[in-house]
Chain A
Amino acid sequence: GQQLNQSPQSMFIQEGEDVSMNCTSSSIFNTWLWYKQDPGEGPVLLIALYKAGELTSNGRLTAQFGITRKDSFLNISASIPSDVGIYFCAGLLRGGGSNYKLTFGKGTLLTVNP
């Protein structure tokens, strides 16, 4: 099935560093979502974006919905060890016949060295 292009695939950073990851698609979405998945758990929603150009923050997380509606990025500032995990972007097309069907990226594995 279709998946979004997410990069980088993995990142190794030191505690306290900032992190940036992004997602692109050949298709337009009108909702972009960012999830975090810990080992043995399901994805948990971090941030949802509903408008092109929207910039939203949730604590140390900031995400933006690209103007073209085909991309999004997630920034994590001042990383801490518990930020370790896999981060997924997901797109959703509201208003269409399949406005429940999340399309996910392949994920970015984040490792934070204390």
Chain B
Amino acid sequence: GAGVSQTPSNKVTEKGKYVELRCDPISGHTALYWYRQSLGQGPEFLIYFQGTGAADDSGLPNDRFFAVRPEGSVSTLKIQRTERGDSAVYLCASSLMHGVNEQFFGPGTRLTVL
């Protein structure tokens, strides 16, 4: 079946603008994760959803970042008033359940804030 998909693959925006990044998890996966990967770094955890609810948003850097998953499937990561430091690859992953179940990663959205 299809893997995790993310759109857009690339997003260029100007400082101060609002952006939305979308993640379509693998069908049937109840757990969904967002990570941020800066250049030369490993992915860093942002937020985890179990079903529709955000079970852990402790990795979100500040209140400009918000994510939703209203129907327990597709998720949207929203960034308000973007800053140049937000430039990174935003990765989404999903797993059958949380815990040791393998997290399958999408290809990521490369966000560039000019």
A residues adjacent to B (C-beta < 8 A): 1, 3-4, 6, 31, 40-45, 48, 50, 88, 90, 92, 94, 98-107
Q: Known: A98-B56, A101-B56. Contact between A43 and B98, CB under 8 A?
A: no
Q: Mark B42-75, 1 if CB is under 8 A from A, else 0.
A: 1111001000000010010000000000000000
Question: Of B42, B45, B98, B108, which one neighbours A88 at CB under 8 angstroms?
Answer: B42
Could you say which of B42, B43, B95 has the most chain A C-beta atoms within 10 Å of its C-beta? B42
A42, B98: Cβ atoms closer than 8 Å: no
Chain A residues touching B, majority SS? loop
B residues adjacent to A (C-beta < 8 A): 4, 9, 31, 33, 35, 40-45, 48, 56, 59, 91, 93, 95, 98-100, 102-103, 105-108
